[in-house]
Amino acid sequence: MVVGWLVRHLPEIVAVLLAAQAWSASVALIGRLWTLLLAVLFGVGLVTWGRSRRWLLAALGCWVTRYRLRTALVELRLTTRAGRLPLLLLLVPTPVGERVWLWCRARISAEDMADEIDGIRAACCAREIRVTRDRRWAALVIVDVIRRDPLSAAAVVRSPWAGRHG
């Protein structure tokens, strides 16, 4: 149980340990005040620069999707009889959301997940969920979490001819 929790939270644990190590090394090198000032400037720079902001939002989306998808699988009982979940192999951001590769254990299939798309979509706060099975390995399932449509218009473009009557 503890090992499972550690594995599930490994990215956050590593990030906190790296930040603590960088903080302590910087304090030893340049002092607490300058370290705080550099950390604030670095954080402001990350948030204001467009490319890093998009990267941060994509990482945040992956983080949210990982936890919300796990919660959906538990709540929808897409587990084995022993309560084991599919293994999350890889989660990457895409231009429209995230893509998740799951390795399903015995008794779980892509078709079972496809039957529960509505619940998964609601749990992940997604516009659409696509579940596909790999052609080679039936246990490998690809879940596309679609959050936005890049082709939809952000604002309605009015025609200059709309107000004229012929």
Whether residue 130 sits in one domain with residue 62: yes
**Is residue 77 situated within a structural domain?**
yes
> How many domains are contained in the chain?
2
Calpha distance 65→82 (Å, rounded): 24
Co-location of 82 and 30 in the same domain: no
List CB contacts of 165: < 8 A, sequence separation 6 or more: none
Could you report the per-residue pLDDT of 120-156, keeping only the tens digit for each?
Answer: 999 988 999 999 998 899 899 999 999 887 776 666 6
Q: What is the pLDDT of residue 119?
A: 92
Query: Is 163 a member of any domain?
Result: no
Name which of 56, 138, 49, 128 is nearest 93 in CA terms.
56
The answer to whether the CB of 57 falls within 8 A of the CB of 93 is no
Q: What is the pLDDT of residue 5?
A: 78
Return d(Cα 142, Cα 35) in angstroms, integer.
Answer: 43
pTM: 0.72
Q: Are residues 62 and 33 in the same domain?
A: no
- Are residues 61 and 142 both part of a single domain? yes
| Structural domain boundaries enclosing 7 | 1-37
Q: Are residues 87 and 13 in the same domain?
A: no
Q: What is the pLDDT of the chain when averaged over all its residues?
A: 86
